[in-house]
Amino acid sequence: MELDLPVFDKLAIIGCGLIGSSVARGARASGAVRTIAIHDASPAARETIARLGLADQVTDTAADAVQDADLVIFATPVRAIGEAARACAGAMKAGAVISDVGSVKAAVSEALLAACPPGVHVVPGHPIAGTEQSGPEAGFAELFHRRWIILTPQDRQDDAYLEAVQRLADFWSALGAQVERMDEKHHDLVLAVTSHLPHLIAYNIVGTAADMEEVTRAEVMKYSAGGFRDFTRIAASDPTMWRDIFLTNKDAVLEILGRFTEDLQALSRAIRWGEGDKLHDLFSRTREIRRGVIEAGQESAEPDFGRKRGA
């Protein structure tokens, strides 16, 4: 696909952990932007970011990074986005595209629209990509290759806004991602199912196992090849990021969690009463779903979580 590069002149990244630093590296490697400014609230992180040479400018304030930026991407934990946007709203250029990478969209969209000045184009986004690592050293340029980026544009039909959405889409295409557009509430429900609930379950099961008195922590770890290990990997994800996700996507998460628990109780009942056919039916059905995942082309030789650099 032919893209007109660079897509944006100056990119500002606010918050530079795994995702923010991967955006920086990806933008650099692809030539999607001409210049990059990064701000992170942590002085130690700013030092690391500078040392790693991730940006042309590493700024002490968000406003300094955002000055003259054509694209601003907020990559802080989702509950910090509102405050981060308020802190630099005054420096935002007219016509700038304001976006993010948060795993929850309705709450973030609301926070950005409340904080940003008129005259900018707020186009929230969420790249479906990540590893269980954290911090600016963990990022890599290829993180978004062949991954979906979901944009949840506002319901605006004016040419300037539509063009802004397209430019943001082009930016993400340059980073190797596949762009999808979606209603923000629908996004939050889909992600509650495919990501938030799985993480909650993984966190829970690791906690439950750790509390067993008769089974030692060492035994759990030793024999964790039996399925448990995959859960520990998911449950090692960044605690702050995930706390924020559950608190901001509360309604969708509680809805799907309610259904999950009902279904689990039905399974528990089938086990207690020895209803083998019911169990076999469910397990056969889920095997077919797995085959569907492979056919949808979302499966490679490696599981997605724990994607490694250079992959």
Q: How far is the CB of 96 from its own copies (least distance, A)?
A: 28
Q: Choose which of 93, 154, 232, 309 interacts with its own copies (CB under 8 A).
A: 232
Nearer to its own copies, 54 or 169 (CB): 169
Asked if 113 and 122 touch (Cβ cutoff 8 Å), the reply is yes
Nearer to its own copies, 99 or 249 (CB): 249
Asked if 16 and 38 touch (Cβ cutoff 8 Å), the reply is yes
Residue count (the chain): 311
The reply to whether 42 sits near its own copies by the rule CB under 8 A is no
Residue with tokens 């994800």: 237
The reply to whether 201 sits near its own copies by the rule CB under 8 A is yes
Asked if 141 and 24 touch (Cβ cutoff 8 Å), the reply is no
Q: Choose which of 44, 117, 291, 311 interacts with its own copies (CB under 8 A).
A: 291
Q: Residues binding its own copies: what is the number (CB under 8 A)?
A: 101
The span from the CA of 163 to the CA of 166, in Å, is 5
Asked if 84 and 15 touch (Cβ cutoff 8 Å), the reply is yes
Q: How many CA atoms lie within 13 A of 28 on its CB side?
A: 18
The reply to whether 207 sits near its own copies by the rule CB under 8 A is yes
The reply to whether 261 sits near its own copies by the rule CB under 8 A is yes
The reply to whether 311 sits near its own copies by the rule CB under 8 A is no
Q: How far is the CB of 67 from its own copies (least distance, A)?
A: 32
The span from the CA of 258 to the CA of 253, in Å, is 8
The reply to whether 80 sits near its own copies by the rule CB under 8 A is no
Nearer to its own copies, 162 or 210 (CB): 210
Q: Residue 212: exposed, middle, or buried by beta-carbon count in 10 A (0-12, 13-18, 19+)?
A: exposed
**Where do the H-state alpha helices sit in the chain?**
18-30, 43-52, 62-66, 81-88, 106-115, 159-174, 184-191, 197-210, 217-222, 228-234, 239-248, 250-272, 276-295
Q: Reduced to 3 states, what is the DSSP secondary structure of residue 38?
A: strand
Chain residues 173-192 in contact with its own copies, contact rule CB under 8 A? 186, 189-191
Q: In Å, how far from its chain's centre is CA 112? A: 17
Q: How far is the CB of 187 from its own copies (least distance, A)?
A: 9
The span from the CA of 236 to the CA of 128, in Å, is 18
Asked if 71 and 8 touch (Cβ cutoff 8 Å), the reply is yes
Q: Contact letters (x/-) for its own copies, 131-170, by CB under 8 A?
A: -x--------------xx-x--------------------
Q: Choose which of 40, 222, 309, 311 interacts with its own copies (CB under 8 A).
A: 222
**CA nearest 67: which of 43, 92, 104?**
92
Q: Contact letters (x/-) for its own copies, 86-105, by CB under 8 A?
A: -----------------x--
- For residue 125, which phi and psi values (nearest 5 degrees)? -145, 160
Q: How far is the CB of 185 from its own copies (least distance, A)?
A: 10
Nearer to its own copies, 5 or 193 (CB): 193
Q: Choose which of 59, 208, 310, 311 interacts with its own copies (CB under 8 A).
A: 208
The reply to whether 287 sits near its own copies by the rule CB under 8 A is yes
Nearer to its own copies, 51 or 280 (CB): 280
Q: Choose which of 113, 160, 162, 264 interacts with its own copies (CB under 8 A).
A: 264
Binding segment (CB under 8 A) for its own copies, from list 3-11, 82-90, 163-171, 250-258: 250-258
Q: How far is the CB of 94 from its own copies (least distance, A)?
A: 34
